[in-house]
Amino acid sequence: MSNEVIHIIGGGLAGSEAAWQAAEAGVKVVLHEMRGVKETDAHHTTDFAELVCSNSFRSDDHEQNAVGLLHEEMRRCNSLIMRAADQHKLPAGGALAVDRNGFSAAVTEAICNHPNITVVREEIAGWPPGDWKHVIIATGPLTSPALAEAVLEKTGEDSLAFFDAIAPIVHYDSIDHDIAWKQSRYDKAGPGGTGADYLNLPMDRDQYYAFVEALKTAPLHEFKDWEKVPYFDGCLPIEVMAERGPETLRHGPMKPVGLTNPRDPTVKPYAIVQLRQDNALGTLWNMVGFQTKMRYGIQTDIFRMIPGLENAQFARLGGLHRNTFINSPKVLTGDLKLKVDPRIRFAGQVTGVEGYVESAACGLITGRMTAAEALGGSLAIPPATTAFGALIGHITGGHLEAESYSGARSFQPMNVNFGLFPEVSISKPEGVKRWRGPEKTIAKRKAITSRALEDLKAWA
């Protein structure tokens, strides 16, 4: 038992999981939660780990789905969030859906009854006091204005975002490379570039106008009042640009100038969609300028109208909504500590992870790491081959820097997905001459997940 105390700010999924992990390790925890004293625009109760949106934790298939793998890794690490989810699961096919009230009540009961956890209902309206030696900030997308202002002051004006303008991200190996070609506009290399840094997908006139019409009639996400954000000219949703005139997109993000299709160099495409490498592994590519308010269900159908994306698999779909998250690659170390104040770690959605389970996993990792330090030791970062490690690696260093010439903010929130994992080698089964249908994808995912669970053992 340590005499040191860990202060955790925020009682959402990340904060609750962090508190549980640290307390289970034998460390005293003070969990500061402002709900009950000051309400938010989204929450309806004062329970811990309240689910403010969907009640789904998404796929529970740990062999073929990255979030299912994350579920399994958390279960193997004594996760409170996964225990409560399993206790209150509802029929949902291959997904893990929960009774939201029962789930949150179970987490709250476990937190409040743990002998090593003290709950304090209060707003931390500024930077954590200097005598708090171990701190985890897990305040999520609805961080209080006073604390957000303190974070801004500590980290710099460009290190905190208050809305997401998210373009879709595509798995590289699902793009048709018989159609796509690599070229930068006007062959400009740019800092660290080669002159062939973008994937280009050409559209003829008919394809372009069909695409524009589909955008104009697509159903849009309906925002709650607290989610609404202003548009900025630099990040207009593509459907808004389409509404401004049929030629707007091809004079904006889909302009065809400075590019030549090497397979048909005499024919100028009417419009071109560009994709830019999005992670250091080169497995994920961002659709440049394609932030959107379209509902998720229709996005896939419309984006697959683009030549070369007919069979595209998306690691993330587009969006535009209110959020608060830090520029983690810039301000955090690899073990989630704040560079300018290393006694503080960040966890959950405020770091730029997306999703319930990802937030809770981030809390699990920070809770364990901080507890190890409070006990006089240390705990390594989870292996990059695990879902834990792949997720943390992305938010702290796996994302490419923004282009220096544009100054655009590159880092954006993301769910866990197989594109974040290091490559794995697979071989065809004995007697099989070639893969059929999805066999190679299934085998690759099984190899990634098997490797992850094996490599997790030593860390866990």
Name residues whose C-beta falls within 8 Å of residue 109's C-beta, 6 or more positions apart in sequence: none
CA distances from 266 to 186, 271, 318 (A): 16, 15, 34
Residue 207: helix, strand or coil by DSSP? helix
431 is in an annotated binding site: no
The residue to which tokens 């202060």 are assigned = 7
> What values do phi and psi take at 440, rounded to 5?
-65, -45
Six token digits for residue 130: 């200097």
252 is in an annotated binding site: no
36 is in an annotated binding site: no
d(CA 264, CA 269): 9
15 is in an annotated binding site: yes
| Cα–chain center distance at 133 | 29
Residue 307: helix, strand or coil by DSSP? coil
CA distances from 69 to 340, 357, 371, 446, 456 (A): 33, 11, 24, 10, 11
Q: Are 14 and 360 in contact (CB under 8 A)?
A: yes
d(CA 208, CA 193): 29
Q: Are 367 and 20 in contact (CB under 8 A)?
A: yes
- Indicate the angle between helix axes 13-24 and 80-87, nearest 10 degrees: 110
d(CA 19, CA 49): 12
Q: What is the DSSP-derived secondary structure letter of residue 323?
A: E
H or E stretch at 460 = none
Binding site for FAD, by residue number, is 10-15
Binding site, by residue number, is 10-15
